[in-house]
């Protein structure tokens, strides 16, 4: 195992940004930057042992400073949408930025994807290497309550796993919902659309949404619907039955809080397989519906519609306004924890 760091440029305020490279004994290589605590690249072998980068991203910091697609980033303080940008805690209403139609998305105008995280350590051990980063979101930042201290740790193992672990503590009652917003393309980031990927999601139900993609509160079965991935299906096989593509939250089977299988994706041409486990109650499938070729990624490659898919492990959208959903409230003295594990193979 190896952990290496190098400069990755400066923010407009002159802050030095760093790029970390974690490599395992089989050649898997993950690169992470402390700007937005983002996964920049992940090189994984295909069935012939050929490495390719399976996440969308940018060659330099400028791409991350200017993008609006959250590519690779850690998103928060609240991942996904909050209806009308409002929620109430203990009788106090908090009004958040409206940055997605009439709603609040991914933490607001300057969410966790647009801040510089402080690196605590980058370590290589015998069987794993990791980089650990923290961010203090001050009381009132983006109008959220409480000084919230968050930690995200990326760990690469010799079992070909990329683990992403989150922790959070607060000094005032608040809400929290963190996820990683990587766009995956197991054929390689520049290989075209992902509609031929075979996807399985271990979820029999989903949260029904209104036209603004806000849950109504109802939970319905996925069976006999285009949302049914209970057995492996090509992502594109029924995508045409939806208005624009997938942007839906699935209610995962199994017990939330325990690490369990939630999804598996396979790219037939390369043979690459990604298995995902999480402790979260839900997962958002998003198929890059708003990519339009204007974002130019690594190697000068433009990212067009459906160039990648996201599997955002999470609590459900708009949970602060849906008391029947699993709680996203964090109290002083409590610790928020979440873990998601991506494991790679080829066949």
Catalytic residues: 181, 312
At 66, which helix (H) or strand (E)?
helix 61-66
Phi and psi angles of residue 85, each rounded to the nearest 5 degrees, phi first: 65, 30
- What phi and psi values does residue 84 have, to the nearest 5 degrees? 60, 10
**C-alpha distances out from residue 240 to 63, 164, 235, 246, 305, Å:** 31, 33, 10, 10, 13
Pick the closest to residue 82 from 247, 252, 316 (CA basis): 316
Kindly list the distances between the CA atom of residue 145 and the CA atoms of 34, 173, 329, in Å, as whole numbers in the listed order. 24, 7, 11
Specify burial of residue 93 (Cβ count, 10 A radius: 0-12, 13-18, 19+): exposed
Q: Are the C-beta atoms of 326 and 316 separated by less than 8 Å? A: yes
Q: Of 105, 313, 87, 318, whose CA–CA distance to 219 is shortest?
A: 318
SS3 content of the chain, % helix, strand, coil (to 5): 10, 45, 45
First to last CA, the chain: 24
């Amino acid at each position: 195992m190896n952990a290496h760091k190098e400069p990755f440029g400066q923010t407009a305020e002159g802050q030095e940004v760093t790029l970390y490279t974690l490599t395992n004994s089989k050649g898997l290589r993950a690169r992470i930057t402390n700007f937005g605590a983002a996964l920049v690249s992940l090189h994984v072998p295909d069935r012939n042992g050929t490495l390719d980068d399976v996440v969308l991203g940018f060659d330099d910091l400028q791409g991350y400073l200017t993008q609006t697609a959250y590519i690779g980033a850690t998103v928060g303080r609240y991942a996904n949408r909050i209806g009308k940008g409002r929620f109430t805690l203990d009788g106090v209403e908090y009004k958040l930025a409206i940055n997605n139609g009439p709603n609040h998305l991914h933490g607001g105008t300057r969410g966790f994807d647009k801040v510089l995280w402080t690196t605590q350590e980058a370590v290589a051990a015998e069987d794993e290497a990791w980089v650990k980063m923290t961010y203090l979101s001050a009381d009132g930042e983006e109008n959220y309550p409480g000084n919230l201290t968050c930690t995200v740790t990326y760990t690469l193992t010799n079992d070909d796993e990329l683990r992403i672990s989150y922790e959070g503590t607060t000094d005032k009652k608040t809400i929290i919902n963190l996820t990683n917003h990587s766009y995956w393309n197991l054929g390689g980031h520049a290989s075209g659309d992902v509609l031929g990927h075979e996807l399985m999601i271990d979820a029999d139900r989903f949260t029904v949404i209104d036209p603004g993609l806000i849950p109504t509160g109802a939970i319905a079965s996925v069976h006999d619907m285009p949302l049914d991935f209970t057995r492996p299906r090509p992502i594109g096989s029924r995508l045409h039955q939806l208005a624009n593509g997938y942007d839906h939250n699935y209610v995962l089977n199994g017990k939330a809080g325990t690490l369990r299988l939630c999804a598996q994706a396979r790219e037939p041409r390369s043979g690459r397989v990604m298995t995902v486990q999480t402790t979260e109650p839900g997962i958002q499938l998003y198929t890059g519906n708003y990519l339009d070729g204007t974002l130019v990624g690594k190697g000068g490659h433009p990212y067009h519609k459906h160039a990648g898919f996201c599997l955002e492990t999470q609590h459900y959208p708009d949970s602060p306004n849906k008391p029947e959903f699993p709680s996203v409230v964090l109290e002083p003295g409590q610790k928020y924890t979440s873990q998601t594990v991506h494991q790679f193979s080829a066949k």
